[in-house]
């Protein structure tokens, strides 16, 4: 049976007056502010994951393996006529955003409920679960954008990966990050322990990183694996980023990819609000 | 010698420039409950760690079972039980596994370790939680499990560093009861505490420590007799009036202590002292006559309270 | 004999019951064996991805003068990398909590166990787990057709050696770590090793940078494992093995000394 608070919060968020929406934004920004403060403590190691690691991948895989790939004319045509490093680089924007966002939505979310109980403290203030979730979403979106931007900066170092399309690829990667972050946050909020997270990384994130279309065309995979890869948001993010940096963006296809990512984000948001409510308003 | 499992002479521990333990002498008799009483930072835990062979002494002599901790740590530890100040149970294991693996560290056979584990769980009343993860136990249960663990090797001496700090009153009483039973079985108990009630309850003999030194030694009763009066009158005046009320009461009883929140008069007859105070026109908000405790001994010896 | 003994740090020499530490790990993982099983999949995914993905794009590569397909070339490197990653994980994340938070080692040291037992026991566990992973990975390689010589069996001891080198250095490193946030830096060490140890392309591709490969311990590991699985071993493997052994004992010295200082002060 829902409590009074639950019903009140449900009614405010279901029939949003203009004032209520303004308040939600305002509240959500408090959450973002708090998150950014916490982020300041660890930003150094995150520069590492979003800047140095992609840089190493470009140098190691892009250039090194690239030299082996480029020997074969047939391979170059399979990659759409571009050098391997040029093909690989934009995919790293999407994979990095995916990894950063999914990390942010696993342990930190559980910590907010269990170890640090920040969300419980927040909900004791005028903040409501929906405000907190919106704040989380804005923060995770920002983190995804930031990490994709860091990758983009790294990519401007190499002539073969430099492209004005990176400007467009960054927001695409941001969407891709959110499309992972929100559903994962919804799931993380239902957990009591962190035991499932490493498995999620091992059996979802890593396979997508390897088989999600960033390193080689999806066509090389068996049909069933292709379907799985296309179901996840990553491939759509990779395709968008790649089309942007190679200046091959087609409005129709791009719109479909973006819509698909937005659908994941929307479903994720609704599910996260639901699981946050369940945890916070007992 | 044979009946003194632990003897220390001039025992000293330095951490850099800081003197944690400053040349102390003590000996512990077999079968007694011996206490180190003192506030935080008095050097009690450092002393315990040296006895437990996990902290090399800087200078002085320390003999445990007639052995030297710097040469025969493993042989000494085989005969000791240790309950550290901070719970350090193995959180990755269940309650019973904690005991069994600990027994294995002491080279017990697996069957023997299991047998003793079951027996000890019974002793500390945790048999029903045997399969639980340690994480799910309450503070008092964790403490009891730690004590059970320290007994797995049937030690001759058990070291307990602040065994009841952080526990609620009920959990403390259960624990004291178990420790009392151990003592009855002839196990030598060595404990540190900054609770005077714990020291009075458990210790046959204790030393009072302050600033790394031993400032007094004896049984709880003899310490009180030697360093305090029989009774204490506690007077509480209005805020900030304790200090101002003191001169008028001068000369009543044997001694007076002015504390921020109250005024203490030490006297052999508390009731008479209180009447005298009233006769002199003192109008405290509350007045109480009680027996002297180790707290008063500590106050007398160091000018400070045990628990701040 | 005495010189051989002197390579071993003094506290290690006094170790009498390191197997108890391993027994403890077995007790822990008896319930959480799924974590161990799942750890096997990551390198396997990399192997599969190489086979269906990059392998098709790259074609053939030459190893010590022998031409092999790309998956055959990369598989041993992945095997060596996973030995490194496993050992680093086991000796850092796994040890840090017991060292700083749960105070597990403090409890262990209150018993007849000593620093040597803890050090050897934890490294021993890392090696045992590494042995398990190496064996299963080799089986997977055989099934995927990336093994071409019975000498491939030697890849297993090679992986144990890699594990020994990285586990003991990891143990030494973890004694310097202050908080969980510091673990964000572990990939700073392992990722460049993973990418730049002749893992994904032959040493000849490194051109003028090639001499730098020599300072990568993983390069020596990859070279050992690759010469085993492709059956192209020569005398250079002695040099590679010596490098890893030296690294293992260096870590053992620093690690046991530091643990002694942290736990018995």
Q: pLDDT for B28-38, tens place per residue?
A: 999 999 999 98
Q: Where are the beta strands (DSSP E) in C121-252?
A: none
Whether residue A116 lies within 8 A of chain C, CB to CB, comes out as: no
Query: In chain A, positions 124-183, which contact chain C (CB-CB < 8 Å)?
Result: none
pLDDT at A41: 67
pLDDT at B239: 76
pLDDT at A24: 76
Binned at pLDDT 50, 70 and 90, residue A25 comes out as: confident
**Alpha-carbon dihedral sign for residues A60, A61, A62, A66:** positive
Give mean pLDDT, residues B78-86. Answer: 93
Mean pLDDT of chain C: 91
> Is residue A196 classed exposed, middle or buried when 0-12, 13-18 and 19+ CB atoms within 10 A define those classes?
middle
Question: Is C195 close to A56, i.e. CB distance below 8 A?
Answer: yes
Residue in chain C lying closest to B52 (CA): C110
For residue B132, pLDDT beyond 70: yes
Least confidently predicted of A11-25, A182-196, B79-93, C99-113: A11-25
Question: Is C45 close to A206, i.e. CB distance below 8 A?
Answer: yes
Give tens-digit pLDDT for A70-80. 888 888 888 98
Q: What percent of chain A shows pLDDT beyond 90?
A: 59
- How far apart, in whole angstroms, are the C-alpha atoms of residue B210 and residue B215? 7
Give tens-digit pLDDT for A156-185. 999 999 999 999 999 999 999 999 999 999
pLDDT at A20: 67
pLDDT at A19: 67
For residue B55, pLDDT beyond 60: yes
Residue in chain A lying closest to C53 (CA): A216
Residues in chain C: 265
* Every domain range in chain B assigned CATH 3.30.70: 229-291
Chain C residues near residue B91 by CB distance under 8 angstroms: 102, 104
pLDDT at B307: 61
Binned at pLDDT 50, 70 and 90, residue B247 comes out as: confident
- How far apart, in whole angstroms, are the C-alpha atoms of residue A19 and residue A252? 37
Interface test with B, best of C10, C100, C111, C260 (most B CBs within 10 A): C111
Scored b (16 or more CB within 10 A) or e, C23-45 reads: bbbebbeeeeeeeeeebbebbbb
Least confidently predicted of A64-68, B304-308, C86-90, C136-140: B304-308
Chain C residues near residue A46 by CB distance under 8 angstroms: 184
Give mean pLDDT, residues A12-31. Answer: 66
Residue in chain B lying closest to C24 (CA): B101
Q: Where are the beta strands (DSSP E) in B93-212?
A: 157-161, 188-193, 205-210
Paired tokens of B75? 């042989």
Q: Closest Cα of chain C to B86: distance in Å?
A: 9
Mean pLDDT of chain A: 87
Question: Is C103 close to B86, i.e. CB distance below 8 A?
Answer: yes
Q: Are A261 and A233 in contact (CB under 8 A)?
A: yes
B neighbour chains, 3+ CB pairs within 8 Å: C
Whether residue A72 lies within 8 A of chain C, CB to CB, comes out as: yes
Give tens-digit pLDDT for C79-105. 999 999 999 988 988 899 899 888 999
The CATH number of the domain covering residues in B229-291 = 3.30.70
CA atoms within 13 A on the CB side of A269: 18
Question: Is C195 close to A68, i.e. CB distance below 8 A?
Answer: no
Q: What angle do CA A169, A185, C49 make, to 5 degrees?
A: 55
Whether residue B105 lies within 8 A of chain C, CB to CB, comes out as: yes
Strand order in the sheet with B59-64: B18-28, B6-15, B59-64
Whether residue B97 lies within 8 A of chain C, CB to CB, comes out as: yes
For residue C1, pLDDT beyond 80: no
What are the beta bridge partners of residue B291? B231
Chain C residues near residue A47 by CB distance under 8 angstroms: none
pLDDT at B308: 54
Give mean pLDDT, residues C26-35. Answer: 86
Least confidently predicted of B296-305, C65-74, C197-206: B296-305
**Residue-range domain boundaries for chain C:** 15-263
pLDDT at B112: 97
Least confidently predicted of A126-130, B284-288, C198-202: A126-130
Model-level ipTM above the cut of 0.95:
no
Q: Closest Cα of chain A to C132: distance in Å?
A: 18
pLDDT at A2: 35
Question: Is C54 close to A69, i.e. CB distance below 8 A?
Answer: yes
Paired tokens of B292? 């002297």
Q: Under CATH, what is the fold of the domain B1-79+156-228?
A: Rossmann fold (3.40.50)
- How far apart, in whole angstroms, are the C-alpha atoms of residue A207 and residue C49? 9
Whether residue B67 lies within 8 A of chain C, CB to CB, comes out as: no
- How far apart, in whole angstroms, are the C-alpha atoms of residue C42 and residue C32? 18
B264 contacts: CB under 8 Å, gap ≥ 6: B232, B233, B234, B235, B256, B257, B258, B296, B299
Paired tokens of A19? 């004032």
For residue A7, pLDDT beyond 60: no
Give mean pLDDT, residues B217-226. Answer: 93
Residue in chain B lying closest to C16 (CA): B74
**SS3 assignment, position C201:** coil
Question: Is C191 close to A56, i.e. CB distance below 8 A?
Answer: yes
For residue A213, pLDDT beyond 70: yes
Give mean pLDDT, residues B177-202. Answer: 91
pLDDT at A127: 83
Whether residue B71 lies within 8 A of chain C, CB to CB, comes out as: no
- How far apart, in whole angstroms, are the C-alpha atoms of residue A276 and residue A9? 12
For residue A11, pLDDT beyond 70: no
pLDDT at B96: 97
């Amino acid at each position: 049976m829902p409590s009074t608070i639950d019903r009140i919060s449900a009614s405010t968020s279901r029939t949003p007056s203009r004032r209520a929406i303004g308040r939600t934004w305002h509240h959500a920004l408090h959450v973002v502010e708090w998150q950014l403060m916490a982020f300041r403590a660890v930003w150094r190691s995150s520069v590492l994951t979003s800047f140095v690691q992609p840089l190493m991948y470009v140098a190691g895989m892009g250039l090194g393996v690239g030299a082996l790939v480029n020997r074969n004319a047939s391979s170059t045509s399979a990659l759409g006529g571009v050098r391997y490093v040029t093909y690989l680089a934009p995919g790293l924007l999407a994979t990095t955003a995916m990894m950063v966002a999914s990390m942010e939505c696993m342990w930190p979310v559980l910590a907010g409920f269990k170890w640090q109980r920040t969300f419980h403290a927040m909900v004791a203030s005028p903040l409501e679960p929906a405000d907190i979730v919106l704040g989380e979403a804005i923060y995770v979106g920002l983190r995804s954008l930031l990490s994709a931007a860091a990758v983009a900066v790294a990519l401007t170092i190499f002539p073969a990966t430099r492209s004005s399309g990176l400007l467009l690829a960054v927001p695409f990667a941001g969407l891709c990050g959110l499309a992972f972050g929100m559903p994962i946050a919804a799931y993380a909020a239902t957990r009591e322990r962190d035991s499932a997270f490493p498995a999620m990384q091992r059996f979802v994130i890593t396979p997508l990183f390897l088989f999600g279309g960033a390193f080689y065309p999806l066509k090389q995979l068996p049909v069933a694996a292709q379907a799985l890869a296309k179901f996840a948001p990553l491939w759509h993010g990779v395709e968008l980023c790649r089309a942007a940096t190679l200046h091959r963006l087609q409005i129709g296809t791009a719109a479909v990819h973006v819509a698909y990512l937005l659908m994941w984000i929307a479903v994720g948001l609704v599910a996260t609000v639901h699981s946050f409510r369940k945890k916070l308003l007992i | 010698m044979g009946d003194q499992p632990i003897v220390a002479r001039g025992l000293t521990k330095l951490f850099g420039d800081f003197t944690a333990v400053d040349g102390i002498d003590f000996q512990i008799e077999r079968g007694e409950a011996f206490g180190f009483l003192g506030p935080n930072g008095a050097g009690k835990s450092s002393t315990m760690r040296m006895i437990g062979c996990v902290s090399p002494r800087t200078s002085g002599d320390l003999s445990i079972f007639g052995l030297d901790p710097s040469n025969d740590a493993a042989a000494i530890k085989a005969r000791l039980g240790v309950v550290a100040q901070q719970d350090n149970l193995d959180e990755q294991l269940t309650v019973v596994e904690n005991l069994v693996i600990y027994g294995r560290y002491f080279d017990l056979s697996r069957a023997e370790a299991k047998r003793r584990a079951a027996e000890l769980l019974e002793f500390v009343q945790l048999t029903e939680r045997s399969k639980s993860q340690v994480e799910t136990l309450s503070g008092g249960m964790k403490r009891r499990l730690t004590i059970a663990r320290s007994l797995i090797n049937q030690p001759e001496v058990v070291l307990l560093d602040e065994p009841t700090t952080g526990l609620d009153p009920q959990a403390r009483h259960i624990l004291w009861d178990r420790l009392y039973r151990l003592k009855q079985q002839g196990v030598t108990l060595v404990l540190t505490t900054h609770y005077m009630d714990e020291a009075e309850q458990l210790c046959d003999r204790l030393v009072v420590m302050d600033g790394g030194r031993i400032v007094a030694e004896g049984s709880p009763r003899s310490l009180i007799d030697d360093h305090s009066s029989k009774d204490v009158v506690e007077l509480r005046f209005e805020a900030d009036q304790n200090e101002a009320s003191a001169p008028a009461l001068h000369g009543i009883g044997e001694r007076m202590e002015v504390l921020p929140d109250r005024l203490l008069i030490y006297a052999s007859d508390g009731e008479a002292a209180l009447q005298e105070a009233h006769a002199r026109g003192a109008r405290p908000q509350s007045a109480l006559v009680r027996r002297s405790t180790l707290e008063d001994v500590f106050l007398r010896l160091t000018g400070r309270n045990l628990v701040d | 004999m005495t010189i051989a003994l002197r390579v071993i740090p003094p506290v290690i020499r006094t170790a009498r019951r390191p197997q108890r530490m391993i027994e403890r790990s077995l007790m822990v993982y008896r319930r959480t064996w799924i974590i161990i099983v799942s750890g096997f999949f990551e390198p396997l995914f990399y192997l599969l991805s190489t086979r269906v993905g990059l392998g098709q794009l790259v074609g053939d590569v030459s190893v010590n003068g022998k031409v092999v397909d790309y998956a055959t070339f990369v598989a041993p490197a992945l095997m060596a990398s996973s030995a490194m990653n496993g050992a680093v994980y086991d000796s850092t994340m796994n040890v840090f909590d017991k060292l700083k938070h749960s105070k597990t080692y403090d409890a262990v040291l209150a018993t007849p166990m000593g620093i040597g037992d803890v050090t050897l026991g934890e490294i021993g566990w890392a090696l045992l787990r590494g042995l398990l992973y190496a064996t299963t990975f080799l089986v997977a390689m055989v099934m995927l057709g990336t093994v071409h010589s019975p000498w491939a069996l030697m890849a297993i001891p090679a992986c144990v050696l890699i594990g020994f080198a990285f586990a003991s250095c990891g143990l030494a490193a973890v004694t310097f770590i202050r908080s969980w946030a510091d673990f964000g830096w572990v990939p700073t060490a392992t990722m460049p090793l993973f990418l730049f140890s002749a893992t994904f392309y032959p040493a000849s591709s490194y051109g003028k940078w090639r001499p730098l490969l020599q300072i990568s311990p993983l390069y020596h590991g990859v070279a050992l494992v690759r010469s085993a699985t492709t059956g192209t071993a020569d005398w250079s493997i002695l040099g590679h093995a010596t490098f890893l052994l030296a690294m293992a004992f260096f870590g053992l010295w620093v690690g046991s000394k530091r643990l002694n200082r942290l736990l018995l002060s």
